[in-house]
Structures are given as C-alpha cells and as structure tokens.
Chains A and B, each alone.
Chain A
Amino acid sequence: MRFSLLINILKGVLIAILLFITLFPIYWMIVTSLEPWELVLVWPPSFLPRELTLEYWTWAWSRFLLPLRNSLIIAGVTTIISVALGFPAAYSFSRFKIGGTTLPFWVLSLRFLPGIVPCVAFYILFRTFGLLDTHLAVIIAHLLITLPFSIWMFKVFLDAMPRDLEEAALVDGCTRYQVITKVVLPISLPSIAVVALFSFTWSWNEFMMALILTKSQAYTLPVMIAGFRGAGMIWGGVSAGALLSLIPAVILAVFFQRYLVAGLTMGAVKG
C-alpha cells in the first residue's frame, strides 16, 4: 500500500515537472509582454512581473494589426478552398477508389517536400505575373500543404464511415449528389470542423513560403515576428504579438483533443 502511494507521488512530481517545462515558456512570454523591458533581463529573473505595463500590448496592437489581418485572410481563404475542394475529392477517392492507392499516397508525400523546391518555382512564377507580396500568392503556396492534407484526412474519415445509410438512400432513388448533400455532409460536420481547424493552423503557422513570397504588404504573423530577430528586438512587443498567434493552437489542443493524433499524423495513427 505504502509502495503504491510512493508511486503515485512520483507520478505527480513527474507530471508537475513536465507541465512546468511545457507551459513555462508560454507563461514567460506573458510576463515578458507585461513587464518593462529594462526589468526582463535583470539577474536574477523574477517569476512575477516586478512592474506591470500595457505599453507593449498597445505597441503590438498598432504594428501587428496588418499581419494579423493578412494571416486571417490567407489562412481563412486557404481553409475554405481546402475544405470545399478536398471533401468531394476525398469522397471520390474513398467511394470510387479513383487512383488506386498510389495517388492518395503521392498526395500524402507532398507534406514532406523541402520548402525550397516549391519556393523557387513560386517565386519565379509570381514575379513574372506580378503576384509577389499579394494574399493570392501565399494562398496558392499554402494550398500545396493544406489541400493534400484535407483530401487525405477526409479520406481517412470517410473510409471509416459506415456506408449502409448511403446505400439505403441510393436504393430509395436519391442521386449520388443528393446522397452527398443530404446524407454524407450532415454526418461529416465534426470531421469538417476538425479538418478546417487543422488546415487553418497549418497555413497560420507556415513560415518559409510566406517569408519568401511577401515583402511589405501581405506578410503574415510569423514573418512579422521573425522580422524582429537579432539586435534591437523589442521583446515585450514581440511577445504580445506572438501570444496572439497562439490562439488557434490553444483552441485545437483544448477542444479537439480526440482528433489531435489523427490530425498530426494525417490519419496514419488514429487517436
């Protein structure tokens, strides 16, 4: 009995250490964004802010408004296109076995393409068409990641869905399109939410392509934050901006726990 108590205490301690390592950096960003800059690097550091200021949040608000808007537009449009085109395509893969197994696999492998390969091509093409530094350029580039992701994820979800209802509807005289809109879509709403949120997050988090394809107009939050690297970085302000960009991650982690593993492994492992 005493032994198992000891084990339980040990587990609790390990979990506490783990949570500390995982969450402390985020907590520390909050502190950094609220404490006057001169005090952040005072040795030894203080784990509660010694003085509070909202100066950096107002600083961030004025500067991060444009990239925040850009990120919302780019991630939003990318998500809508990925879901709207990915769902029917996945249905087709799943129910009609178009492309056998090689085509879906090929789609999956796109996720691991080294960034430089599409970047060079997109850069030259968009420069030719005068699309550099526009939302459209980044959206097209991000579709390279999110559309394969959405097709693949929907295929995994649809493959696992029982077909009896669809077959019953077909026998009752529904057309294929009616089956999709009246039967499959309503059952698929949760998976659509999951795929949409993950697509949004991948586009929202993406850095390399957004860095190369934008300059002064269409840059996203990660590009903005990266712009402060090196000397003269205003830590408080950048922390405030960085905290804003954590919102999708927190929503996904807290409300979509059941789907995290499937989303992170593109359905290779089911949670």
Chain B
Amino acid sequence: MSEKRVAYVLMLPALIILIAAVIFPLLFSINVALRKYDLRLPTEEYPFIGLGNFIRAFYDPYFIHSLLITIEFILLGIALQFPLGLGVAILLSKLSWRRYIIPAIAIPALTPPIVACYMGIILFHPDGVVNYFLSLMGIGSKIPWYSNPNTALLTCVLIDTWQWYPFITLVLLAGILSIPPDYVEAARIDGASEARIFMHIMFPLLKGVIAIALIFRILEMLRVFDVIYIVTYGGPGTATQVTNFYSYLVGFHYWDLGYASAIGWILVIILSVFVTYYMKAFRVS
C-alpha cells in the first residue's frame, strides 16, 4: 500500500467527524444568519433576507452597547491580569521550590468556569468575605459588588482574573525559564540593574510568549459568556451585557436565531481581522 494512501486512511475518520460536527454546522449557521429565522413566527418557512440581519446589527443600540461593554471587559481584564501574571511569573522564576507552588496556582485555570463564578457569588456577596476583608482594611461600607451597575462589570473581571491570571503566569514562566541564564549573568557582571536587565534582555526575548499569552486571553474574553450568565445575567439593566451574552439572549430568549447567528458571525469577522493585524504587529506565526 502506498504511503499516500496510509496518510489519507489515518486522516479520514477524524476528517469525517470534523466535516459533520464542524464544517456542516458552520455552513448551516451562515445559512441561518441570512434568513429571518425567528422561532416565534408561526410559520415553518424562514424567508431569505440576505444581509438583513447584519445591517440590523449596525442600527441596534443594544448590539453597539454590547460591543463597548466587551471592549471594556477586555481592557480591564488585561490591565489586571497581565501585570499580575507577569509579576507572579518573575517571582516564581526566582524560587527553586516553585514546583510545589505551581499546582496550587494552576488549579483555577482548570476549574470549570461555572464553579469559579459560583465562588465569586459567595465571596462578593454584600455580607460576604470580600467585604469583610475590606472592612478590616477600613472600608466599612458593604459594597453591593454585582448588583450595582458601577461595580458589576469589575466584579466579573475580578472573577475572570482569579481564574485566568495563572494562565498568563504559566506561559510567561515557561518563557522566562527558557532564557539562557548566561545572558542575564553577563549583564549582571557588567553592572546592569535588575530593571535594565528586564527591559533590555528579558523583555525582548519574551516578546513571543507575551504575544501568545495576550492573544489567548483577548480572544477568550471576546467570547466571554459563563461569568456574565451566572453572576449578573447581563445586568443590572444592561450594564454587563457583553456581545456573546447578548447573542445568547437574542437567540435563546427571544428565539430570533437568524439575528443571533448574524451577531455571532460579526464577532468571528472582528476576531479574524484582529488576529491578522495582531500577528503582523508581533510577527508571530
């Protein structure tokens, strides 16, 4: 039997499943996005309306609002998770006994997001432990974390941070440990300060892993759903209604599957454009 044939025989079962479970549903959902596919309508016919659902999105204030909330979520999330993740990675890289610490730190990233969010509800309850610790530090008022529109999104970001800063830490730690120690040693002997060593030697060598860690996080946050569903359900009002959650409401609360699918595809387009430019900017492959 020829080698080529072996190659295809090995590939075939997975390819069949991928076509059935991935490609077909994706094509099908494009089809749905181009129709007035509203399950509340009493018909079995869903008329083709071309780009109608996509155009509708641009005039939908809730959709635009949801995009802004998503961007806010991502910016807040990165602002918290990246410095924390990097700091912890540097700290761990200086510890010889880090392998006893890493399992504890890795657990959040492998925890079911729903469980992390559920913990968040308990901890951020007005009578909960977070407010208790704050009161020990002199902040006496009980903050209604997730039921106040001003703090609800921050609460979701904090829960997301608890779960995902370890991801950034683990990735950057792997990067730091792969830097040959001689580089750093040589600079130290030459009298460079720790800050300069980091800025001029470690940072350039870490650019690749930083780019990977950030893009994984940004793309995951672009489709954030679980934490919003559990902790705030998009509320109070629409204060935490991110796009992926909004599309869920449109599709599975108001049963307008055509419009929901169109919103999903707009997210895919944003995501692809972003990835293309991002990869060019960082020259990662």
Quick one: which of A112, A124, A141, A252 contacts B220, CB cutoff 8 A? A112
| Residues of chain A from 219 to 242 with CB closer than 8 A to chain B in the complex | 221-222, 225-226, 229-230, 233, 235, 238-239, 242
Contacts of A23 in B (CB 8 A): 104, 107
Quick one: which of A96, A116, A123 contacts B264, CB cutoff 8 A? A116
A80 close to B (CB within 8 Å): no
Contacts of A176 in B (CB 8 A): 1, 3, 6
Q: Is the CB of A257 within 8 A of B99?
A: yes
A54 close to B (CB within 8 Å): no
| Residues of chain A from 7 to 44 with CB closer than 8 A to chain B in the complex | 11, 14-15, 18-19, 21-26, 28-29, 32, 41, 43-44
Q: How far is the CA of A177 from the CA of B7 in the complex (A)?
A: 10
Contacts of A230 in B (CB 8 A): 233
Contacts of A98 in B (CB 8 A): 7-8, 11
Selected interface stretch from A58-66, A159-167, A187-195, A258-266: A258-266
A117 close to B (CB within 8 Å): yes
Q: Is the CB of A91 within 8 A of B229?
A: no
B94 close to A (CB within 8 Å): yes
Quick one: which of A113, A226, A268 contacts B268, CB cutoff 8 A? A113
Contacts A41-B125, A41-B127, A261-B171 hold; do A124 and B32 have CB atoms under 8 A apart?
A: yes
Contacts of B94 in A (CB 8 A): 11
B76 close to A (CB within 8 Å): no
A92 close to B (CB within 8 Å): yes
Contacts A144-B22, A212-B252 hold; do A242 and B115 have CB atoms under 8 A apart?
A: yes
Give the interface size class of chain A.
35 or more
Contacts of A245 in B (CB 8 A): 112, 114-115
Q: How far is the CA of A243 from the CA of B13 in the complex (A)?
A: 36
Taking the closest CB of chain A, its distance from the CB of B229, in whole angstroms, is 7
Q: Is the CB of B13 within 8 A of A114?
A: no
* Contact sample, A vs B, 13 pairs, CB 8 Å cutoff: A22-B162, A23-B104, A28-B119, A41-B128, A85-B14, A92-B6, A114-B222, A114-B244, A147-B17, A225-B112, A253-B103, A253-B107, A269-B174
Using CB atoms and an 8 Å cutoff, list the residues of chain A in contact with chain B: 11, 14-15, 18-19, 21-26, 28-29, 32, 41, 43-45, 81, 84-86, 88-89, 91-93, 95-96, 98, 107, 109-110, 112-125, 140-141, 143-144, 147-148, 151, 175-177, 180, 201, 204-205, 207-208, 211-212, 221-222, 225-226, 229-230, 233, 235, 238-239, 242, 245-246, 248-250, 252-254, 257, 260-261, 264-265, 268-271
- Excluding A124-B32, A238-B118, 18 further A-B contacts by CB distance (< 8 Å) are A26-B119, A41-B125, A88-B14, A113-B223, A115-B244, A116-B244, A117-B267, A118-B25, A122-B25, A123-B251, A147-B14, A151-B14, A222-B114, A222-B226, A226-B229, A230-B233, A257-B103, A260-B170
10 nearest A-B residue pairs (beta carbon): A89-B14, A249-B110, A121-B25, A96-B7, A88-B10, A116-B264, A117-B264, A222-B114, A121-B29, A205-B112
Using CB atoms and an 8 Å cutoff, list the residues of chain B in contact with chain A: 1, 3-4, 6-8, 10-11, 13-15, 17-18, 20-22, 24-26, 28-29, 32, 37, 88, 91, 94-95, 99, 101-116, 118-123, 125, 127-129, 132, 135, 162, 166-167, 170-171, 173-175, 209, 212-213, 216, 219-220, 222-223, 225-226, 229-230, 233, 243-244, 247-248, 251-252, 257, 260-261, 263-265, 267-268, 271, 275
